[in-house]
């Protein structure tokens, strides 16, 4: 399903649009911690960023899961596999810049819609509240950041996009999310928000054990009408 800019803007009326879905954070944290959390991505691994897959390509847990990192990096590594886990040498930086400046077609890239297999972490009782969302989920993860875990400013998709994204956190007091440099306030713990990932955004954790819900999904109109206030 491809969503036009007009349709996208009909739903993304602000950076974070609250949905009816709210996860019980205490219950969720008790249940999720039995599943494996892996290091996020293959670069900047000095930062404490971990992830547990809810939906990936295999439905299983494995350390080299393609879902566990930025997809722009994954696409870069498909072309330049020898830079995997490598430091930022001059030629590495140069190739990365050249790759990021290219006019990519979403159809040619590995993207969120290619991840459709649920892991058993998706079945925990505290996630029963999103039961009606589950058939529509694409690549989805639980992020766990400790102090200074962060994402630098970036975008995740562009018009026309093939998916929407939900975001939420268990600890809005322990982290900051900014769009175009401006901090979001009044974030409710456990609430899932429709997140505008076409607008440049960045985030950082200022404490340990900040969990974030990172859920891509097929923008089915019936589902959206049911989920948005
Ligand atoms: Fe993002």
Q: Distance from the CA of 121 to the center of ligand 1, in angstroms?
A: 22
Q: How far apart (Å, rounded) are the C-alpha atoms in residues 221 and 160?
A: 16
Would you state the structure tokens that stand for residue 226, as one six-digit string? 């049911």
Cis peptide before 12 (omega within 30 of 0): no
Question: Which contacts qualify for 103-106: CB closer than 8 Å, 24 or more apart?
Answer: 104/75, 106/157, 106/158, 106/161, 106/162
**Residue 93 CB contacts under 8 Å (≥ 6 apart), including other chains:** none
Q: Distance from the CA of 223 to the center of ligand 1, in angstroms?
A: 22
Q: How far apart (Å, rounded) are the C-alpha atoms in residues 41 and 63?
A: 11
Q: What residue ranges define each of the domains in the chain, with the CATH number in brackets?
A: 5-68+113-228 (2.60.120.10)
Q: What is the pLDDT of residue 23?
A: 98
150-185 confidence digits (pLDDT tens): 999 999 999 999 999 999 999 999 999 999 999 999
6-25 confidence digits (pLDDT tens): 999 999 999 999 999 999 99
Q: What is the pLDDT of residue 229?
A: 73
Residues 54, 137: contact at Cβ < 8 Å? Answer: yes
Q: Distance from the CA of 50 to the center of ligand 1, in angstroms?
A: 15
Please, how many CA atoms are within 13 Å of residue 9, restricted to the half-sphere of its CB? 4
Q: Distance from the CA of 190 to the center of ligand 1, in angstroms?
A: 18
Q: Distance from the CA of 178 to the center of ligand 1, in angstroms?
A: 11
Q: Distance from the CA of 32 to the center of ligand 1, in angstroms?
A: 22
What parts of the chain have a pLDDT lower than 70?
Answer: none
Q: What is the pLDDT of residue 1?
A: 84
**Residue 28 CB contacts under 8 Å (≥ 6 apart), including other chains:** 124, 126, 127, 170, 190, 211
Q: How far apart (Å, rounded) are the C-alpha atoms in residues 8 and 30?
A: 35
Q: What is the pLDDT of residue 193?
A: 98
């Amino acid at each position: 399903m491809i969503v036009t800019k007009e349709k996208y803007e009909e739903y993304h009326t602000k950076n974070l649009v609250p949905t009816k879905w709210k996860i019980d954070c205490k219950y969720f944290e008790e249940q999720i911690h039995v599943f494996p959390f892996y290091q996020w991505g293959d670069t900047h691994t000095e930062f404490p960023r971990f992830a547990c897959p809810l939906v990936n390509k295999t439905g299983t847990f494995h350390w080299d899961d393609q879902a566990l990192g930025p997809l722009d990096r994954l696409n870069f590594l498909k072309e330049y596999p020898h830079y995997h886990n490598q430091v930022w040498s001059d030629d590495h930086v140069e190739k990365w810049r050249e790759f990021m400046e290219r006019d990519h077609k979403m159809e040619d890239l590995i993207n969120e819609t290619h991840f459709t297999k649920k892991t058993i972490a998706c079945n925990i009782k505290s996630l029963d509240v999103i039961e009606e969302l589950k058939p529509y989920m694409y690549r989805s993860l639980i992020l766990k950041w400790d102090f200074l875990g962060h994402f630098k400013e970036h975008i995740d998709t562009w018009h026309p996009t093939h998916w929407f994204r939900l975001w939420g956190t268990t600890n809005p007091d322990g982290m900051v999310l900014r769009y175009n440099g401006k901090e979001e306030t009044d974030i409710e713990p456990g609430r899932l928000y429709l997140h505008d990932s076409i607008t440049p955004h960045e985030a950082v954790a200022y404490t340990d054990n900040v969990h974030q819900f990172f859920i891509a999904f097929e923008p089915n109109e019936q589902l959206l009408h049911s989920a948005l206030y």
